[in-house]
Structure 1
């Protein structure tokens, strides 16, 4: 590039920059919906409630859930590691699992609220 070409390009560039700097504020668009920023102090006064303690469940319900979940695991472990287990122990575990599942089913609510869609907030 020769010196006259460089000075001509530089003069055009400076002219372009001068014209852009002198534009009216009418050409700048007004802020739109995408320019919205939410305030950061919306949750200033909110204090979440204390969670319930872990051991606050009903003892029979917790025991039933442990039996329903632990019974099949216990049967699997017995089948893998203790082949000579008495049949009465296996049948006892099966009966306890069925009884615990029946207890949990009996604790389910028997009627529904007609205006409830099931959503909980």
Structure 2
């Protein structure tokens, strides 16, 4: 079974820079992410994408453009994480089964980690 793990590395409410790591054994999905245009929805902008030495980890660097201290980090990270999940679904990964899942990424994530399997 192939597992894709997405981790939010920086989840501090006082910062506007987040790192999201995707651990994946699928070289095609990793290559897709490296060639894909940077994410920018007007509130969050991807500033970089890095590949770790073992070539199975891609790290996305995101910057919040206009941060409001009253909004949780999930508000800013969710559109990017949904984007990653949609890419993974196109490569035949499946979201984790949750018995009472309300459809939000916050509900699907276990802490700062989300695992998709195929």
TM-score relative to the length of structure 1: 0.23
* Greater fraction strand: 2
* Greater fraction helix: 1
TM-score relative to the length of structure 2: 0.24
**Which of these two proteins has the greater Rg computed from alpha carbons?**
1
